[in-house]
Amino acid sequence: MTEEPGLRERKKIQTRRRLWTIAVDLFLERGFDKVSVAEIAAAADVSKMTVFNYFGTKEDLVVGPMREHADDVARAVRERPPGESVVAAARRQFLSAVDAFDASVGMNDRSYVLRVRRMIAETPALLARAREVVRLGEERLAEALVAEAAPGDEPLARIVAAQLVAVRAGLTVHNHGRLLAGERAADIVADARALAERAFGMVESGLGEYGVK
C-alpha cells in the first residue's frame, strides 16, 4: 500500500499547487513574458526565494505538472508483469491515460487546461522547456531499459527508449491539436485509441515496408 504523505509533505504540496495556480493565472492574464517571478511571489505573499525553492525556473511554474509525468513510461516498464514486452507496457500505460482523459497524453479538454496548453505552444521559452521534459522522460525510460539490457545492448536500449517516447509525444501533440481546434475529448477518444494502437504496433512489428512506393 502507498503510504499517505505526512502533514509537512501535504503542506508542501498545497503550497506548490497554490504557487502554480497563481503564476498561471497571471501568465494567462498578462502573458508569460510580462510577469516576473517577483510579482508572482508578491501575489502569493511569499518571498522570491520561496518560489524558486518549489520551482527551479520561471518556466517550471507552467510546465511543473508535466514533470510529474516524466517517469510514467519508465515506471510502467519497470513494473510490467512477467511476459509483457516493453512496447506492450508503454502502449498499455498510454491507452490507460487516454481512457482517463489525462492531460499528460493530450486528452483533457477543460478550458483552463487548453488555455495553458495554447500558451505553451505560443511561447518559445515554454515550448523549449516542455521539450526538455519529454527528453527527461526519454532519459528515465532509457535508464530503465539499460538496467535490463544484456551486456553490449545498452545503445540499442537507448534507441528503443527514443522510439517509444517519440511515438508517445507525437500522439500527444496530435490529441492536443484536435482539442485546441475545438473538438471534445469524448468525441476523439476512439480515434486516439486507434491511432495509438497503430503507432505502437508499428514499433512492435518494425517499420517494415512502411512508405515503400
The string of pLDDT tens digits covering residues 57-98 is 999 999 988 988 999 999 999 999 999 999 999 999 999 999
**89 and 179, same domain (yes or no):** yes
What is residue 209's predicted lDDT score, i.e. its pLDDT?
Answer: 63
Q: What is the DSSP letter of 102?
A: -
Within a domain: 44? yes
Residue 211, in any domain of the structure: no
Domain at 26, CATH number: 1.10.10.60
Domain assignment of residue 210, yes or no: no
The pTM (predicted TM-score) of the whole model is: 0.88
Q: What is the DSSP letter of 151?
A: T
Domain final residue pick, 22, 43, 58: 58
User: What's the domain count of the chain?
Assistant: 2
Q: Assess whether 186 and 97 both reside in one domain.
A: yes
Residue range of the domain that includes 27: 7-58
Residues 52 and 85 in one domain: no
Q: Which three cell numbers stand for residue 112?
A: 483552463
What average pLDDT does range 39-45 have in this prediction?
A: 96
Model confidence at 2: pLDDT above 60: no
Domain-located, residue 186: yes
83 and 186 part of one domain: yes
